[in-house]
Each structure stands twice: as C-alpha cells, then as structure tokens.
Amino acid sequence: MKHRVLVVEDNEVNRELLCDWLQIEGLETTSAETLEQAYLALEGEAPAMIFLDVQLGNEDGLALAERVRANPKWAHLPVIAVTAHAMLTDKERVLRAGCNACVAKPIDFKALRKYLQEFIGVSKDSPS
C-alpha cells in the first residue's frame, strides 16, 4: 500500500511541484490550499505525513500543526514545515508549533527525501 502525504500549500506552482515530486517518489498525495481544506482532508482518512507551507496566503499554516498536535487522533503524524523564511527565529516558531522539521524554499528535495525516510520509512529503493 502506498503512503499518502497531505500537501498544504496555497501557491499552485509549488503545490503541483511538490505533489508531482512525491508521486515520482512513489507516494500518493492529497493537496489543500487553505486551512479549511486541510482540516477537511484530515477528517477523511488520515495521511501518513503532512507537508505544510507556513504562509498560507493570509492564514498561519502553523495553526494546522498546533491543531494536529492537540488531537490524539493525529498527534503522531509527522509534520514537515515548508517555509520561505530560513531565519532561525522562524525555525524555532515552527518547531514550537509542533512541526517535526523545517525545510526552506526553494525546496530542498534532498532534505525532503531524508525526512520521508526518517519519518515514514520511504526510500526510493524500497518497494512502495
């Protein structure tokens, strides 16, 4: 069975880039553009992992991380923040909100692959 990743990103180009890359890596994807869409996606079958854009238009993506951590149903889900701000202060805020790790934009795919391996045991060489 393929692992499914929830991609929460308001920018269409980034969202498609990330989903396409994940599919090439052998994963299934669900995407959301807003917090509301992300909550709806979570209410369905929970994903194996969440990639979360910190800046969702006018919304704070980290609100999703906090909500995930606060709910026993989702508390175990790995959440990887994707942020344009690689500043240390932002990284601290991201980790404090409950994200497991933080990746800076432009997206570092090597880092993402490492996190897929680390958090859900997916590597390009293993059968999906």
Question: Rule CB under 5 A: which residues touch Mn ion?
Answer: 10-11, 53, 55
- Residue closer to Mn ion by CB (options 25, 59) is 59
Q: Which is nearer to Mn ion, 3 or 33 (CB)?
A: 33
Distance from the first to the final alpha carbon of the chain: 7
Cβ at position 87, least distance to Mn ion in Å: 16
Tokens of 123: 């590597």
How far apart (Å, rounded) are the C-alpha atoms in residues 51 and 53? 7
CA distance 30 to 16: 11
Q: How far is CA 93 from CA 9, 41, 89, 101, in A?
A: 18, 24, 6, 11
CB of 7 to Mn ion, least distance (A): 12
Least separation in angstroms between CB 118 and Mn ion: 24
Cβ nearer to Mn ion, comparing 25 with 53: 53
Name the minimum Å distance from CB 21 to Mn ion. Answer: 17
Which is nearer to Mn ion, 10 or 90 (by Cβ)? Answer: 10
| Amino acid symbol at 16 | E
